[in-house]
């Protein structure tokens, strides 16, 4: 049982390049989330999904797109990377219902945009 995994662990991009971050969970969770963590800012929600085929915007969605084609996977895309997107990206998952609000986090992807 791997929990939440993220690939890649680290990536360097040039401004304007695109990339996709992959998140996978094996806990059969309905809900999945993408966050970014910047120094002194805590975690901020980018996009989230409450089920296969559904996505919604979070607090800081601009410059990102997401897809949830399979229940276990949640992809975060950067179409044209900018230096302001240099950050550590975390994926998380949780289940619906009271008593299940805990979010389980992946190890993170460190992205540097030059």
Partner 1 sequence: SQQGEEDPQALSIQEGENATMNCSYKTSINNLQWYRQNSGRGLVHLILIRSNEREKHSGRLRVTLDTSKKSSSLLITASRAADTASYFCATDADQTGANNLFFGTGTRLTVIP
In the complex, the smallest distance separating the C-beta of residue 113 from partner 1, rounded to whole angstroms, is: 20
In the complex, the smallest distance separating the C-beta of residue 107 from partner 1, rounded to whole angstroms, is: 5
How far is Cα 48 from Cα 92, in angstroms, rounded to an integer? 9
Cβ 47 vs Cβ 64: under 8 Å:
yes
Considering only residues 18 to 57 of the shown chain, the ones binding partner 1 according to CB under 8 A are 31, 33, 35, 40-45, 48, 50, 56
With respect to partner 1, which residue has the nearer C-beta, 16 or 96? Answer: 96
From the list 91, 98, 72, the residue with the least C-alpha distance to 20 is 91
The strand pair at 54-57 and 4-7 is best described as unpaired
Judged by CB under 8 A, which of 78, 92, 111, 113 binds partner 1? 92
Output the CA angle 30-51-96, nearest 5 degrees.
Answer: 40
Question: Using CB under 8 A as the criterion, which residues of the chain lie in contact with partner 1 when the complex forms?
Answer: 4, 31, 33, 35, 40-45, 48, 50, 56, 58-59, 90, 92, 94, 96, 100-108
């Amino acid at each position: 049982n791997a929990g939440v995994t993220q690939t890649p662990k680290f990536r360097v991009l040039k401004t304007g390049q695109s990339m996709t971050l992959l998140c996978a969970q094996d806990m059969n969770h309905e809900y999945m989330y993408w966050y970014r963590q910047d120094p002194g800012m805590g975690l901020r929600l980018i996009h989230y999904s409450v089920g296969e085929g559904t996505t919604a915007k979070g607090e800081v969605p601009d410059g990102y797109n997401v897809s949830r084609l399979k229940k276990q996977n949640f992809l975060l895309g950067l179409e044209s990377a900018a230096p302001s997107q240099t950050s550590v990206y975390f994926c998380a998952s949780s289940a619906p219902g009271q008593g299940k609000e805990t979010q389980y986090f992946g190890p993170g992807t460190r992205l540097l945009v030059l």
